[in-house]
Structure 1
Amino acid sequence: MKVIRKEQALEVWKHVDIVVAGGGPAGVGAAVSAARQGKKVLLLEKRAYLGGNITACYVENCNYFLKGTGFESEGIYAEIEKKCYEKYGNDNLRERNKTCFSSEYLKVFLDEFVQEAGVEILFHSFVNEVIMEKDRIAAILIQTKKGPMAVTADIYIDTTGDGDVAFAAGIPYEQGRKEDGLCQPGTVSLRLSGADTNALLQNGDRLSEIGRIFKEDYRAGRTGLPCKRQDLPFGRLTGGGVISYVNYSCCYGLDPTDPGDLTKGELECRQYVMDIYRYLKEHFEELKGIEVASISPEIGFRDSRRILGKYYLTIEDMESQRHFDDVIAVFPRFYDMLAPDAYMDGDGRVEGKGYKGHIYEPVVDKRTFEIPYGSLLPVSVTNLLTAGRCISADHVAESGVRAISLCMMTGEAAGMAAALAVRDQVTPAEISVKELQTMLKQQNRLLPV
């Protein structure tokens, strides 16, 4: 059976220079950098707040892997990190991940920060439909409580994470591993209150020790827990006994773009949340008084669609430290992929490419990789840019591309590129990349050009 969708003429609700779809780290970077170039920017976000997985999924440990490496945050991300701490403080007592964000304070901070740049925000706005004119997006349709609303712009930037705008525009994409299409698992995080902060800090980082004990118990079959996740990362620890997140409850084999799979993941993961809560409360004296403070509002994903672009970034490019003339971001060599098939007994080496267990490669010396501008330019739509984890790259490369601060860096580049395209009345593919690189370097971005 099929239904026929009735044709509907829509008034254009608003025209702006640049529309940014998706208010996560990439979207914030794109919107702010474009607005600071004097362009009229509309930032659309499906949730009620900005920040993406940092705020919606409690993933506050954004740059923990830079500690002790000599690398530092750059660009708009570094600015947010500094200003947010100055305004709201840092209540984290753990030394291991001292530069965590507090996701609740970050929500408020980003409201202010983005608007101060001159960006217009529209929450509760889900974009999954576009109107095409040949190879250009003529309008995007926002799904709202009042029905669809049409918005037009000169340039569009897809920072939805899932590449929703690019998908709606019919651009080819890849998803998951090459052999079977499996993506990394979806996770629903847990926030706890009532922890014994003093006891947890008495002899070093007790939370890290609890994570190690859990992994040993899981592998020995002593936990009795059904979730296949073996790692147990913890977030901030506050003087009030709050553990800001327990990143554990994972559901494997999901398609992050399928509503049925999303529903399955939410239902399954909330059961795992209660499992790990009870396990921690029963097994560790410092946690016997804990309560569930909150469960993250939605399941979070590490990868889904990767939109095919004018350049297809590979893990071989990244491992060989290939230099690109159109480089727009340089990042420390760091990869993190949870095993898509739940096989967690691998050695963590990138050579396994996600087929021999998880991948976890920490920063090594001064090794870096580069992101080329061509990976932000979709192959078949001329007035669209992508940024964040949906840029053009292979599945293993995405395990490095998806780093939260790097997503903001690619967003920052996309926003500046869009501003140049509007200024010069050209497509994003036709801008001066040299000028783009110069502008990025002026914004505390380290580029080898």
Structure 2
Amino acid sequence: MEKDENLEEFRRWLKERNPGEEEFLQAVDDLATDVFSLYTQNQDWYDACVLLHLCEADRIISFRVCWEDDNGAVHVNRGWRVQYCGAIGPYKGGIRFHPTVNESILKFLAFEQTFKNALTGLPIGGGKGGADFDPRGRSDREIMRFCQAFMDELYRHIGENTDVPAGDINVGRREIGYLFGQYRRLANTFSGALTGKDIEFGGSHVRMEATGYGLVYFLRCMLAQRNQELGGQVVAVSGAGNVALHAAQKAVQLGAKVVSLSSSRGALYYRDGIPRELIEKALDHRAGSTELLTGMADACGGEWHKGSTPWSFPCDIALPCATQNELDGNDARALIENGVKMVAEGANMPCTAGAIEAFQKARIPHAPGKASNAGGVALSGLEMAQNASFTRWEQERLNEQLVEIMQDIHRQCIAEEQGEKDYINYHRGANLAAFRRVASAVYAQGVG
């Protein structure tokens, strides 16, 4: 395809070029729908086929990961690193270990990461990686051996000025420690080639909290735009991982009433609000999410709804923090019927196209993950800066910078969205602001 003459032609081309990659197609279509008019009106971008350029990753690295379990049995997994776009800076994005990981999911995540990172204002490009490895039931030493085997290949492709991975689902500080240790031994250098490290060897304060806290800071900006405050708002949160629990913690600290958390097996609901001490205890002693949530339900007198999601519970604000496409059109309509006033994504692309359409039709402000959950990568960028300068910044300074970055992302969305005064289309505003920065960088560096 030499020129994308119209949006429908572009969509047909994209689908033919990426057959079966549903998550990637969804992510690209989501962005293209909002930016296509801007793109075609900018003759320089259009002549240089910038949008087509951004539909292809710079490179996708696929490799075999062989490791031994505790019984000496050999296992073979597949690993990937998608280095999507480095026009703004070194590739930046997490590593995910989960049996559902495949190339389409990682391409969609890396595509989203490119535009999310652009919104932070930091000099970081977009990437993502992972493996179809299931860590459930594995011993600590088995996880260590897998991480080391994974890094045996990955180390060739990363570095502080090339590609800087971080953690993601099932890759926390323990796994980052094993990955970094193997990188240091193989590369024979101590550098900021990974973020999310322990504080003792180059990690940063606030990094674990950043995505969940940043989500709430962005939500606070959305409320302020409508002359409202977070205090007293009823908030439904999905998930029970790092993002969900830290978002719940910060929301409660700021006076909100968090009524739900969830796992893939059901949802915890407590009408009076989950007590702050239970959320903080969960952060300190997190077990498997279902076990954690049923224990919390017993402790606070809440209800465990097996096989349910939080989207049928009455709430003012919904924060989907679990996984992609967890909230569909029917869920969105249930939330609207139950009085939801605002939605902000804590996960990557948790709302389907049908859900987004329902929220927009009902004029419910909806913040996409590339804007509202950018706090984690923002702190990763600040960790990179600390590593480069051999310094460690105080927690208060980092939290203030996180607040400022989320406020700036909100300002970018508002500046781009020229809609009616009483309704801001954050989805379109975020896509336009992010695309404008990435497209400008791609065009400025020439075709290639």
The interval holding the TM-score normalised by the smaller chain is under 0.3
Greater percentage in strand = 1
How does the TM-score come out when normalised to structure 1?
0.28
With the length of structure 2 as denominator, give the TM-score of the two structures: 0.28
Task: Identify the structure with the greater helix proportion.
Answer: 2
* Larger relative contact order, structure 1 or 2 (CA cutoff 8 Å, min sep 6): 1
